[in-house]
Amino acid sequence: MDVTNIAKLSTSMAETGIRQEVGMTMLKKAMNIEAASAAQLIQSLPQPQNLPAHLGNTINTKA
């Protein structure tokens, strides 16, 4: 192998590693933003009020 080919291969591998790191970082940030948005959406839901105590205690498994 020629020395320049080795240098090109090394540079290419380093760039690929950096691209993967950047991609993973962006993915983590996007997931954190989505989690925060979902938490905010859940908190914005109105709480049920004045419902009878028996509601929500059973599940219909025959349906």
Cα–Cα distance measured from residue 7 to residue 13, given in angstroms and rounded to the nearest whole number: 10
**pLDDT tier at 63, thresholds 50, 70, 90:** low
- Tell me if residue 56 falls in helix, strand or coil: coil
Structure tokens at 48: 């049920």
Residue ranges covered by each domain of the chain: 1-41
pLDDT at 58 over 80: yes
Cα–Cα distance measured from residue 23 to residue 27, given in angstroms and rounded to the nearest whole number: 6
pLDDT at 60 over 90: no
Cα–Cα distance measured from residue 4 to residue 16, given in angstroms and rounded to the nearest whole number: 18
Backbone angles phi, psi at 33, to 5 degrees: -65, -45
pLDDT per residue as tens digits for the range 28-51? 999 999 999 999 999 998 887 887
